[in-house]
Amino acid sequence: MRCAARCGACTRRRESREPGRASCAPWPRGGPVTASHAQGTGRDGGSAAHAAKEETLTAAGRAGFMARGVVYVLIGALAIQMALGSGGESADRQGALDQVAEQPFGKAMLWTLAVGFGCMALWRGSRAVLSRGPDRKAASRLLDGGRAVFYASVCWATATFAAGGGQGSSGNAQSKDWTASVLKLPYGQVIVGAGGCLLIGIGAVLAVRAALRKFLKQLDVGAMSHRTRQIVTGLGVGGGVARGTVFAAAGIFILIAAVQFDADEAKGVDATLRSFTQTPAGPWLLVAVAIGLILFGAFSFASARWRRL
């Protein structure tokens, strides 16, 4: 290809017609490489890398919601067995893991759950650190950071159990140990009471937001049929209210432990669920809450499919 502009070498060659004088090198195919072209290539490469990162984090988030759904469905099923008097496992995360371990290919399933929880921690952490914009306020990012730490600890505990490290402490024992340790600190009673109030508040917020269907803003409802949207909405409302109820009840027991200065009053998920059988409604209240937890597990599966990540 001829030069687009007359450089000195070309002019002299045309004027003198001297043989053997080297001509200037042709432009690369497609024209000269300009600075703007190089910058565009760099932007394209950066866009591709950004898209790959987004796809990875999206896949991680969906895997995390699937793992969360499995655990909630199992906890709900164990709670129903407890209400009917036929359950031997504790109705908490450790009991759910025990149930998984007893199944064929249980160890592989445990490792799959551990990976799922790790993916959830990664996704939550990325939202806390990388997300920007007017909708990502400091409080939201702090909340995502706390969730990332929580799911990282769940991932570690699940992986340890899958590797044969033995059963971890039950939720009831962990709650009592934590409460006893904090009560020994200066102003420990105040700290425990504040923790109980915080958990009650979180439970109330979860239940109210579920009842108001706030979760629909996080879902791609446009991709659902009308019938599917109705089902997912029912799962989110019923499951979210039940989940918030369990959180609030656990917070009440922690608050009682602070008021009475007695760590034994604190309860984990299992003992909190069992306490529902001591109400005037008897075991049927526990059955209702357990069904709600199963619904929340199913809603987690729906979130893995339709949540905007």
Residues 72 and 143: their CA atoms lie apart, in Å, by 21
CA distances from 218 to 67, 230, 236 (A): 19, 15, 12
C-alpha 253/C-alpha 272 separation (Å) is 8
Query: CA 231 to CA 217: how far, in whole Å?
Result: 16
Q: Residue 231's CB: how many other CB atoms inside 10 A? A: 14
Is residue 134 within 8 A of residue 171, CB to CB? The reply is no
Q: Could you tell me which of 161, 195, 197, 200 has the C-alpha nearest to residue 178?
A: 195
pLDDT of residue 45: 63
Smallest CA-to-CA distance from 250 within 272, 283, 273, 275 is with 272
Q: Other CB atoms closer than 10 Å to residue 37's CB: what's the count?
A: 12
Q: Sign (positive/negative) of CA torsion 65, 67, 70, 72?
A: negative
b (16+ CB within 10 A) / e for 294-306: bbbbbbbbbbbeb
Q: What is the pLDDT of residue 16?
A: 46
pLDDT for position 6: 45
| Amino acid symbol at 300 | S
**Could you state, in chain order, the average pLDDT of each consecutive group of 10 residues for the chain (309 residues)?**
47 47 49 53 68 89 96 94 78 87 91 96 91 73 92 93 73 83 92 95 96 96 96 97 96 94 88 88 91 97 94
Residue 241: per-residue pLDDT: 97
